[in-house]
Amino acid sequence: MISRNHLVLAALLASLAAAGLSSHAAAQNSGRVGAVNLDATGTPPGAATRTLTIGTNVIYKERVQTSAQGSTQIMFPDTSTLNVGRNSNIVIDEYVYDPAAGTGKMVATVSKGVMRFVGGQISHTAGVTVKTPVATLGIRGGVATVVYPIPPGFTGSDPKLAQAQGEIVIGHVGSVVIKNNVGSVIVRPGYMTWVSGPNDPIPEPFPIPDFLLQKIMAALSSGTGQTGGVSDLPTDQMAARLGFGKTIVTDPAKPPGTDPLGYFSIFDGGNSIAKNKSQSNQTNQVNQPPPNTNPGCGNCSND
């Protein structure tokens, strides 16, 4: 016969196990701030607005806003990151991740501003969805940037961008599918397009001009005198102690995360890989060898 004490102990152990599982699940279904330049705030559903600091947990349906000087980087358990630039307003609509299966789902809404998504495990399985007022983006296996709305004078005098309005979408790594009410296009690495409205045709993507890429990189980076929210610049030992020991994106040239600043600040939050990949794709396109004009030659050289 089981004694009452045994029953109480069993109930206590069950409650502790349930609490542990709940805590583990919560940890896998939320992000945390890896870097922040004031002013950046978060407003969880049903709660008051708070100032974001390094290490702050960001839960689903939380609204993240930045000022004209603010920017932040949100890191997720699957190693995805959202780099949020100045004058931005985004919501993490949904984030679920199962580390055992390596699967999950992420949905975010960009109401305004600049946001770069740097893909982790989820982007290689189910993909990631980013919603804006004019279109929906499906990002798989890589890095993409969204600017909405396009700021005045942002596109300069480039004739290719003369009609650009609404939002800019840039594909850096992997593939980006843009959909609105009238159609869809695929944006390859190193290419960009814009969406002027939910019912407007989406222009065919073209290589991103270097000056525009530089502007977007500046909007996502720390400004003069900003340190990503740390009073003392981090050391390798500090990074290891806090568990920042993995690279988010593998880039042989300069992967963010191989140095502590790649995690603690938004100095290089995907900027290096975005620039290198975009420019290499443009170069590859320009330097493509001429097509073989001799059908009977098979794989012979064009020399």
Which CATH number does the domain housing residue 129 bear?
2.60.120.1440
Q: What's the pLDDT at 65?
A: 97
Q: What number of other Cβ atoms are within 10 A of residue 145's Cβ?
A: 27
Q: Are residues 40 and 180 in the same domain?
A: yes
Residue 72 included in any domain: yes
84 pLDDT more than 80: yes
Q: Are residues 245 and 181 in the same domain?
A: no
Domain count, the chain: 2
pTM of the full structure: 0.72
303 pLDDT more than 50: no
Residue 12 included in any domain: no
209 pLDDT more than 80: yes
13 pLDDT more than 60: no
Q: What's the pLDDT at 294?
A: 45
Which residue, among 300, 283, 280, 284, has the nearest Cα to 292 in the 3D structure?
300
Identity of the residue numbered 284: N
SS (H, E, C) 148-198: ECCCCCCCCCCHHHCCCCCEEEEEEEEEEEEEECCEEEEECCCEEEEECCC
83 pLDDT more than 70: yes
CB 53 within 8 A of CB 33: yes
Residue 108 included in any domain: yes
Q: Are residues 207 and 248 in the same domain?
A: no
Express as a percent the part of the chain with pLDDT over 70: 66
Please report which confidence band the pLDDT of residue 229 belongs to, taking 50, 70 and 90 as the band edges: confident
Q: What's the pLDDT at 41?
A: 96
Q: Express each pLDDT in 231-265 by its tens digit.
A: 655 555 655 555 554 433 333 333 333 333 333 33
Q: Are residues 140 and 210 in the same domain?
A: yes
Q: Are residues 202 and 246 in the same domain?
A: no
Phi, psi of 28 (to 5 degrees): -80, -10
Q: Are residues 34 and 176 in the same domain?
A: yes
Q: What's the pLDDT at 240?
A: 59
How far is residue 226 CA from its own chain's centroid? 21
Residue 255: strand, helix, or coil: coil
Q: Between residues 281 and 220, which one has the greater pLDDT?
A: 220
Q: Express each pLDDT in 98-115 by its tens digit.
A: 989 889 999 999 999 999
Q: Are residues 248 and 209 in the same domain?
A: no
Residue 16 included in any domain: no
User: Could you please report the per-residue DSSP string of 228-242?
Assistant: TT-SS---HHHHHHT
116 pLDDT more than 80: yes
285 pLDDT more than 50: no
Q: Are residues 48 and 107 in the same domain?
A: yes
Cβ neighbours of residue 20 closer than 8 Å, sequence gap 6 or more: none
Cis peptide before 205 (omega within 30 of 0): no
Q: What is the DSSP letter of 202?
A: P
Q: Express each pLDDT in 164-201 by its tens digit.
A: 999 999 999 899 999 999 999 999 999 999 999 999 99
287 pLDDT more than 70: no
Residue 170 included in any domain: yes
Residue 3 included in any domain: no
149 pLDDT more than 80: yes
Q: What's the pLDDT at 221?
A: 81
Q: Are residues 183 and 279 in the same domain?
A: no
Which residue, among 127, 129, 294, 281, has the nearest Cα to 205 in the 3D structure?
281
Q: Are residues 57 and 87 in the same domain?
A: yes
Residue 62 included in any domain: yes
Backbone region of residue 201 per phi and psi (left: phi > 0; alpha: psi in -120 to 50; beta: other values)? beta
Residue 9 included in any domain: no
Q: Are residues 120 and 207 in the same domain?
A: yes
Average pLDDT, the chain: 77
Average pLDDT (222-233) is 69
Q: Express each pLDDT in 20-74 by its tens digit.
A: 434 444 556 689 998 898 899 999 999 999 999 988 999 989 999 999 999 999 9
Please report which confidence band the pLDDT of residue 300 belongs to, taking 50, 70 and 90 as the band edges: very low
Domain hosting residue 165, numbered range: 24-220
Q: Are residues 61 and 144 in the same domain?
A: yes
